[in-house]
Amino acid sequence: MKLCMIGTGYVGLVSGVCFSDLGNTVYCVDRDKKKIDSLNNGIVPIYEPGLEEILKRNYNKKRLIFTTDLKKAVLNSDIIFICVGTPTKKNTNSADLKHVFAVANELKKIISKYKIIITKSTVPVTTGDKIEKILIKLKKKKLVDIISNPEFLREGEAIRDFVYPDRVIIGTDSKKANRILRSLYLPIIKKTSRYFNTSRRGAEMIKYASNAFLATKISYINELANLCEKTGVDIKDVSFGMGLDQRIGERFLRAGPAYGGSCFPKDTRALIDTANKFKTNLSIVQSVVRSNEQRKYFLTRKVEKILNGKLRNKVITFLGVTFKPNTDDMREASSIPMINFLSKEGCKIRYYDPSGEKEDFKKIKNVQFCKNISSACLKSDLVIIHTEWNDFKILNFKKLVKKKNITVYDMRNIYSKLKMKNMKIKYFGIGR
């Protein structure tokens, strides 16, 4: 099939590349000429394991086309995916849909024969209805079907999630569109994943409901971790014991920093905003958002406590600053408010992240990016493991720090508390 991905951000690029690897011809469209030029030169703008290899392979086979020409891409495609950003509007909880509607208005001018238009971007309930109103003349002529097909790609594991999805959600009442999309997804749905056809509003809601539930699990286990610290219980044991219950499951029950990234923070806020518009109270989701914000400052206060309130001129090392491993995404990462606060208190911050130096910290006083773990840890007063990259799972802290007294704050509970004690390393974990 011939597909058009409008937007080459995370969702659009990963989905487009993976669809091309299934044998489809895919046009990836973006108005950013520099980004398109880079992609045409094989330069991938995001950090995602395996993506560059698949991109180059399909680009060389001419199944993957990067262009700024929206009209050409749409006219040559059977299915149009809207993959533009839907960030939170400034000073609100609502999703900013201006890019989605801008695309719809452009499509209105181009389409002259039947196309399936799919919102892949995460959008609030009724967004599809609003797109349909924009395209009402095309809809009446039966030239378009507007579908919701939310993505469930995890950063760092997106390729696997695309090829082996838990489910494929298709929101449409069009039998024609459903038949075509089932055929499109056939190479992956026959690998035991579930293909679920529901209403368009139902599909839109499933995405938000899923993300809010996962965010709830994270906030819940983080709050339990606080209690475990007070009671002398190891949160890892609690998480493991809970996870054995099939009704609960083990995933997303790992205590650590606040959740971040491009999805959970904005989607929980947008779901609350939608509930308010429909005059419905989502008190649980509201509590989750509050708890997550409080988490960032709780961890910072814990650093103060570890250093006995003496922060000025202390050398603090952050190992990993992204919100999760195997991605370069810094959106809503808890490292940002922590490093901002500690630098203002007079700490000397050094950090190392396998995904490279971050723009977020370039203009902050007393913050230094190090090119390797050794230079980041040397003579450090406190080593903080913020992100669980594989690079940080087997470290000789004595050799790295080269100080008599070594203090480690393991925010991911990678290391054994007992082994650290036996090595005479002052060790702090989460909820233990």
Q: Kindly state the tokens that stand for 318.
A: 């952050």
Residue type, 352: Y
- Rounded Cα distance between 196 and 97, Å, is 26
Q: Kindly state the tokens that stand for 33.
A: 């000429």
Q: Kindly state the tokens that stand for 392.
A: 């940080």
- Rounded Cα distance between 118 and 103, Å, is 11
263 is catalytic: yes
Q: Which residues of 68-96 are buried (b: 16+ CB within 10 A; e: fewer)?
A: eebeebbeebbbbbbbbbbebbeeebbbe
3-state DSSP assignment of residue 317: strand
Strand partners, 64: 26
- Rounded Cα distance between 19 and 168, Å, is 14
- Order of strands across the sheet with 382-385? 367-369, 348-352, 315-319, 382-385, 407-410, 426-428
Say how many residues make up the chain. Answer: 432
- Rounded Cα distance between 251 and 262, Å, is 19
Taking CA atoms, 121 is separated from 118, 203, 263, 426, in Å, by: 9, 12, 11, 45
- Rounded Cα distance between 119 and 99, Å, is 12
Are residues 67 and 7 in contact, defined by beta-carbon separation less than 8 angstroms? no
Strands (E), 183-289: 194-198
DSSP-H helix ranges across 263-352: 264-277, 283-306, 335-344
Are residues 144 and 172 in contact, defined by beta-carbon separation less than 8 angstroms? no
- Rounded Cα distance between 143 and 102, Å, is 19
Taking CA atoms, 112 is separated from 118, 353, 395, in Å, by: 17, 49, 61
What does DSSP assign to residue 360? Answer: G
Strands (E), 172-271: 194-198
- Rounded Cα distance between 262 and 248, Å, is 25
Q: Tell me which of 228, 263, 347, 370 is the catalytic residue.
A: 263
**Among all residues, which ones are annotated catalytic?**
263
